[in-house]
Every structure is written in structure tokens, then in C-alpha cells.
Amino acid sequence: MGLVNNQRAYDKHLLWQGGEGNIVVGDSVVGFRFPVRIPNFRGNYLSCIEEFSFALDGQALDPDKIELVLNGKRFRIGDLPQLFAEYWYVLDVGIIEVLHDGGLQGKHRIDATMKLRYGYSAYFGVCKVVTSKCSKEYEF
């Protein structure tokens, strides 16, 4: 069970548009960023994100080099499961920032996967976890 996302209409919005680019500090390009939405009809607690992983041109990105910028704060991907008091409002766009020396130039493909736990769905003692996948080509 759980192979098919019956609420998949929102999956294609996981990778959003607007705000993609490189992270420049002084004279150095230290990474890149791109926008993300929560792929569900409602907002959710960050602690309900069981997986939030990314690949660049088919190569998995190291989660230790990724942060989510949301609600005016920065969160390490690995810390999301602990953030039960942090809510992602459904209309808010998050920014994923990736440390990547030199940044990116030109077109690149990003693949994103989010496993989201529906905290209200324990109809028979277990919460449903839904996987959303999305791919998008950005111009950096």
C-alpha cells in the first residue's frame, strides 16, 4: 500500500517557479537555490515531512548541504522531523538552498521527493505517508 498518490494533483507543484538562482557571498558563489511548495491541499507541520530529498542532474544531493528557508528561518533538512511547532502555510513558498561551490550555470534538472505524513489519518492506528515526486529544469 502507498504506491499511488491519489492526491497527486499537487505533486507537480512541489518544485515551484521564481526565485531560483545562485547564492553569492561577497565575491564567491557558494551554492544555488530554488523554490518549493508543500504538495498537498493543506499546510502542514514540518515534523510531518519524513523525507525531503533532491537530485541535481540525476545525482543525489547530500542532505547535510541542504537547508529549507521558510517562515523567516533556516532549517537543516535533517532537523525537520523535530519541528512539530513549525507550520508550513500552504500558500507560502519555501526556498531550498544547497551549498555547491561555484553554483550552477545554464539549465539544470532538479528532482525532488517528499514523503509527507498525514497526521490526522490514523484511521486504524497508523498514519498514511504519501510520496510526492517532481522534476523540473531551471535556468541558473
Chain positions contacting other proteins, by CB under 8 A? 1-10, 13, 37, 41-45, 47-48, 50, 81-82, 84, 87, 89-91, 117-124, 127
| Comparison of 55 and 129: residue with beta carbon closer to other proteins | 129
56, 103 contact by CB (below 8 A): no
Closest CB 33 distance from other proteins, rounded Å: 21
Q: How many residues does the chain have?
A: 140
Closest Cα partner for 38 from 138, 117, 109, 106?
A: 117
Closest CB 41 distance from other proteins, rounded Å: 4
| Comparison of 18 and 58: residue with beta carbon closer to other proteins | 18
State how far the Cα of 56 lies from the Cα of 137, in Å rounded to an integer.
10
